[in-house]
Amino acid sequence: MHLKIYTDGGSRGNPGPSGLGVVLINKNKVIGKYFKFLGRATNNEAEYAGILYGLKKAKEKGAKRVDMYMDSLLAVKQLNQEYKLKNKNLAKYFIKIWNLKDSFDKVSFSHIPREKNNLADELVNKAIDQGIRR
């Protein structure tokens, strides 16, 4: 199975209440939408949490190939090894993501404009709104 995954993460404040959103697509059909409140985190930590969560869901679905799309240029550049990773908190996510990549035949990370990531962004806001209400 070949999945397209749109991920996003965000926080209100940096750090602040944060959440992730993930959308799984197979053959142009949405097969999963997920969101999760993360508590207090930075925007970048939330972005990485979304990427990791998306890969875990892809593995659960039995995907062999994954194309990941996100609006965080920093995360894309770091995961494609174009930028060095200096933040220790992000490094923890990076290692988990890097190890999880071995579960698939191919994983790609691509940057998309924010306006092309609306569904994942909506899920982030839903996660944060629900988390704040608790």
Residues 48-86: tens digit of each pLDDT: 999 999 999 999 999 999 999 999 999 999 999 999 988
pTM of the predicted model, to two decimals? 0.95
Q: In what order do the strands lie in the sheet with 106-111?
A: 29-41, 16-26, 2-11, 65-70, 106-111
Tell me what pLDDT residue 51 has.
98
Tell me what pLDDT residue 16 has.
96
Q: Which two tokens stand for residue 86?
A: 């200096």
Predicted confidence (pLDDT) at residue 133 exceeds the cutoff of 90: no
2-133 to CATH, choices 3.40.50.300, 3.30.499.10, 3.40.190.10, 3.30.420.10: 3.30.420.10
Residue 121, CA distances (Å) to 61, 87, 103 in order:
22, 24, 26
Q: Quote the percentage of the chain above a pLDDT of 70.
A: 100
Hey, where are the domains in the chain? 2-133
